[in-house]
Amino acid sequence: MTTQQLTPYPRQQLAAQPIGYWTGAAHREVVGRIRKELATESLTQPHWWILNHVAASPAHWTRAELTAKLTRYDDQGIDFTEVFADLADRGWTTEDTAGALTLTEAGEAGRIRAKERNLRAHEQTHAGITKDEYVATLDVLRRVIANLGGDSDLPE
């Protein structure tokens, strides 16, 4: 995978750039790429989040519990009721009598297909960036968030 060459700028000019612009631009590109990959399976990010949580803890999560946990990450106003219904209609999830969710074989297969697509997006995102650079970037962003009173802990 090739990486696009960056136009060089003086460090002073880069240091004066607004972080809000650059974090927003990065968010749009990264999330847009992930959403494009998920769309090939007719999935949204909430579908993906639900599939991964249920796969990690079968028969643990209910619809209400996952909705409460995941709504804070949704920036598109997705109706989680519709997402749960879609996964059930596809035959990708089942619920026990207590309402706890489990993935079916079809659901796990769909999750794995989406995971493989997302891995390609992550590889493209990380191309030309060392692990140390990536970690340093996250630490800077976490510090910015903490400085503004936000939650800088890793998501669960």
* Rounded distance between C-alpha atoms, residue 114 and residue 109, angstroms: 9
The pTM (predicted TM-score) of the whole model is: 0.84
pLDDT at 91: 98
Cα 46 from Cα 136, distance rounded (Å): 28
Q: Could you tell me which of 126, 150, 153, 129 has the C-alpha nearest to residue 139?
A: 153
**126-135: per-residue pLDDT in tens?**
999 999 999 9
pLDDT band of 1, cuts 50, 70, 90: low
pLDDT at 74 over 80: yes
Helix (H, G, I), strand (E, B) or coil at 37: helix
Smallest Cα–Cα separation from 59: which of 8, 94, 14? 94
**Band of the pLDDT at 147, cuts 50, 70, 90?**
very high
CA-nearest of 72, 97, 96, 68 to 81 is 68
